[in-house]
Structure 1
Amino acid sequence: MSAQNAPEDVIAEALERAFGGGAPERIGVAVSGGGDSMALLDLLRQLGVAEICVASVNHGLRAEAAEELALVAAYAAQHGLSHDILKWHWEGAGNLQAAARDGRRAALHDWAVRRGIAHVALGHTADDQAETFLMRLARGSGVDGLAGMAEARMDGAVTWLRPALGARRGALRGHLRAAGIDWAEDPSNEDVRFDRVKARQMMEGLAPLGLTVDRLVQTSEHMARERDTLHWAARQAKAGAAQVVAGDVVLDAEALEMMPESMALRVVADALCFVSGETYRPRFKALKAALESRKSVTLHGCLILPGKSHVTITRELKAVQAARVPVGTNWDGRWRVGGPEVAGLEVAALGEGGLAQCPDWRDAGVARQTLLVSPAVWRDTELIAAPLAGFGEGWYAELVEGRAVFG
């Protein structure tokens, strides 16, 4: 992917890679009013491969945001495009930029699902890719992190597209100037409190050393190819060393021991994410310490239980003891419980109190720790059923699609 091609060619080629000859009926576009997303919107509209639906997120953090979104609304109205403004509110906890990014993504995801839009385009550029590489390098990221942002990534029912990832930020603004389209500059882009701004400013000093945007993007692409190779190898390793048992991932201890350390760490990290439902892997230092301890360790909302022949990754009771949903609803993102139609029942973890009400739980052949975090049916504090413990006639618990096979 070259960052020197004309942006319209970059985007057209990216869409061809994403869709081939079968573009969807509609594409969502996330537009903030900034130069990158405004240029992406105009270029996608001109390409005409699909109906364009526009969404903007108002974070409520700056008074200027209303004026910036007014630019988007005016453009959408001029070209007959639908435009929805989504609200997000910061609770004040954690890193502001990270919270805003996650909140923005969640709002856009919900919007796309409601509108029946399967693809949403984001305005990330080659400059963003290079800055991301530098930031992750500073954090000590491995191959997966340094592979950077993907041009297309599935996220449940929505696929995020970055069709301008091969274009330079300056080229996109050049397009806007030529087309006479206004855009807004976010003052936070000059705020050196933010890591991305620091990385952006650092690029100027690195360029004379040959660490240009193009070179960093190229290195990121090399890392992406290596990541794909490692993912392929990990699938082979999992096929021979792992199985899903009652929602746990059970790893063959000898096979794990025979793997190169990097592969064993990858398999265990993937197992932790599979069981917990977390998107991101645990920190490398914590993961390595857990694997080396050979003792029971809690990590990533899971419990790692080493044994003579197997290592079991199960859910941590603390992570699920507050989770409570109506029967028929996915519980802990993994389980669906069904049985007799009785109103007012809920699914929650079996826990110690529930297990004490299952006198024959040993006959079920499921480990005690696994049963503690298994789904049970409750009427307030009354235990109705615990399918994995063999308690409650006519009730069953099954893993939802995608959570029955670890591969």
Structure 2
Amino acid sequence: MLAPGFAQLLQGGTPVGLAVSGGGDSIALLHLAAAIGGRISVASVDHGLRPESAAECGMVADICTSYGLPHQTLKWTGWDRRGNLQDQARRARYGLLADWARAAGVANIALGHTADDQAETIVMALARGAGVGGLAGMAAVMSRDGLHYHRPLLQVTRVALRAYLVATGRVWCDDPSNDDPAYERIRIRQAADTLAELGLTSQTLGQVAQHMATATEALDRGTADLAAAVMMPQSGDVLIMLALRDLSREQARRLVLAAMERVHRRITPPRKDEQQRLMHALLQGQGVTLGGCLMTFDGPVLRVSREPQAVAQIVTPTTALWDARWRLSGPHAPDLQLRALGAGIELCCDWRRSGLPRRSLQATPAVWRDQTLVSAPLAGFGGDWSAQIVAD
């Protein structure tokens, strides 16, 4: 049942993490992976939203013990009863899993998403009026912040997984929130039989996702080729050296988003409505701030920079990677910190020689000792330090 590529990872001895909640899909993932063997570690996220969740994580731990697999429960305590619960829980889940995986030396994490999850995702995308990228659904393998998330059950239905569990005498837990029609995904799940009568089965919708994924790959290749021709890096900024009006709107949109991702490596893709407002403003020649990025024009050239306010609270040791892309070299010391240059630019008399705009420089890394500016390499202040962009 597991995707061949993921099975090969296990068989090849690559360290692999499994995200297992105790629900049927992820429990099946655990048993199927354990049957193959390999260097497997398991994590369960306890969102703390139901009294049963701790016991469910304990059940997963017991199964792992029976297989001799290491298991860790990751607890989320960040829900403040405001905002979109499912979205916040999903973001927290990925954050906790990423921290766990890095600490465990694991770069590949498997998730229990199924063909039914993919179908639901496509229907949700249709309801939003999504484009090609949205209709591609969930990728079989997704890379984020140096980690690879696998969905080895994406071609398998929930019915098939439950049949496997029953046939092998396995137990699992059903989360009652999976029947709560307050959530859009659950309403779509409850309408699955009606959709199937119209021919919109999980198999059919999965085929739509595959076709759209193929189209997205082609568009991505075209964007990469265009970016190589018209994008120019400049000390952390990205310049688009071609008037956006000379491109189709879709080419311009993809090019701008690609530039934003280079400038802000942890950016959350803007919502569709935000992208529409962004492109309307840029095609009118207006500067925009969005998603931690600052976009300004110098004639037809669009400059995409990090937004100073977005990095104002990032503080790390000088030996650490700053803002997920900057590495500094110099006389490191325990009492030094990396922070954004910000208002320290007033101390940099020669900053104009850098060729960068003032606001771009304010968002670059600087070395500080408490409130004293020690060095701002890109602004020409303090000669003992240098800053480099680290490759993706």
Q: Indicate which of 351, 363, 385 corresponds to 2:375.
A: 385
Give the AA of the match of 2:23. Answer: G
How far apart, in 2, do the equivalents of 1:371 and 1:384 lie? 15
User: 1:392: Cα distance to partner?
Assistant: 0.8
Number of equivalent positions: 388
Partner of 2:335: 344
The answer to whether the 8 A contact 1:270-1:281 is kept is no
1:63 maps to 2:51: yes
1:400 maps to 2:390: yes
How far apart, in 2, do the equivalents of 1:199 and 1:339 lie? 56
1:112 maps to 2:101: yes
The answer to whether the 8 A contact 1:113-1:157 is kept is no
TM-score (norm 1): 0.90
The answer to whether the 8 A contact 2:327-2:390 is kept is yes
User: 1:313: Cα distance to partner?
Assistant: 0.4
Deviations 1:275-311 (A, max 9, x none): 1223432233233223223122111111111221411
Q: Indicate which of 17, 22, 30 corresponds to 1:41.
A: 30
How far apart, in 2, do the equivalents of 1:110 and 1:140 lie? 34
How far apart, in 2, do the equivalents of 1:198 and 1:12 lie? 28
Partner of 1:75: 63
Partner of 1:121: 110
1:325 maps to 2:316: yes
How far apart, in 1, do the equivalents of 2:75 and 2:334 lie? 35
User: 1:12: Cα distance to partner?
Assistant: 4.9
User: Which stretch of structure 1 is more off in the superposition, 124-133 or 195-204?
Assistant: 195-204
1:148 maps to 2:168: no
The answer to whether the 8 A contact 1:387-1:397 is kept is yes
1:252 maps to 2:236: no
Give the AA of the match of 1:317. Answer: P
The answer to whether the 8 A contact 2:348-2:379 is kept is yes
User: 1:391: Cα distance to partner?
Assistant: 1.2
1:373 maps to 2:373: no
Q: Indicate which of 271, 276, 300 corresponds to 2:259.
A: 271
How far apart, in 2, do the equivalents of 1:316 and 1:25 lie? 39
How far apart, in 2, do the equivalents of 1:158 and 1:217 lie? 25
User: Which stretch of structure 1 is more off in the superposition, 36-45 or 79-88?
Assistant: 79-88
| Structure 1 residues 276 and 26, CA gap change in structure 2 (3 angstroms) | closer
Deviations 1:194-220 (A, max 9, x none): 111011122222222111111111101
**Where does structure 1 differ by over 6 angstroms across 4 or more consecutive aligned residues?**
none
1:304 maps to 2:295: yes
Q: Indicate which of 161, 169, 179 corresponds to 2:168.
A: 179
User: Which stretch of structure 1 is more off in the superposition, 307-316 or 335-344?
Assistant: 335-344
User: 1:252: Cα distance to partner?
Assistant: 1.0
| Structure 1 residues 96 and 398, CA gap change in structure 2 (3 angstroms) | same
Any stretches of 5+ residues in structure 1 without a counterpart?
1-7, 403-407
The answer to whether the 8 A contact 1:121-1:163 is kept is yes
Partner of 1:220: 209
| Structure 1 residues 80 and 356, CA gap change in structure 2 (3 angstroms) | closer
The answer to whether the 8 A contact 2:44-2:73 is kept is yes
SS of 1:149's partner is: coil
Deviations 1:148-167 (A, max 9, x none): 11111222342211111100
User: 1:58: Cα distance to partner?
Assistant: 1.1
How far apart, in 2, do the equivalents of 1:111 and 1:219 lie? 34
User: 1:370: Cα distance to partner?
Assistant: 1.7
Identity %: 43
Could you say which structure has the greater relative contact order, defined with CA pairs below 8 angstroms and 6 or more residues apart?
Answer: 1
| Structure 1 residues 15 and 334, CA gap change in structure 2 (3 angstroms) | closer
How far apart, in 2, do the equivalents of 1:288 and 1:364 lie? 29
The answer to whether the 8 A contact 1:269-1:287 is kept is no
SS of 2:12's partner is: coil
Deviations 1:102-129 (A, max 9, x none): 2112212222221222222111100000
Partner of 2:346: 356
User: 1:22: Cα distance to partner?
Assistant: 6.7
Partner of 1:91: 79
| Structure 1 residues 395 and 74, CA gap change in structure 2 (3 angstroms) | closer
| Structure 1 residues 204 and 361, CA gap change in structure 2 (3 angstroms) | same
How far apart, in 2, do the equivalents of 1:95 and 1:227 lie? 28
Give the AA of the match of 1:290. Answer: A
Deviations 1:50-101 (A, max 9, x none): 2332221111111111232232223222232222212111331421111111
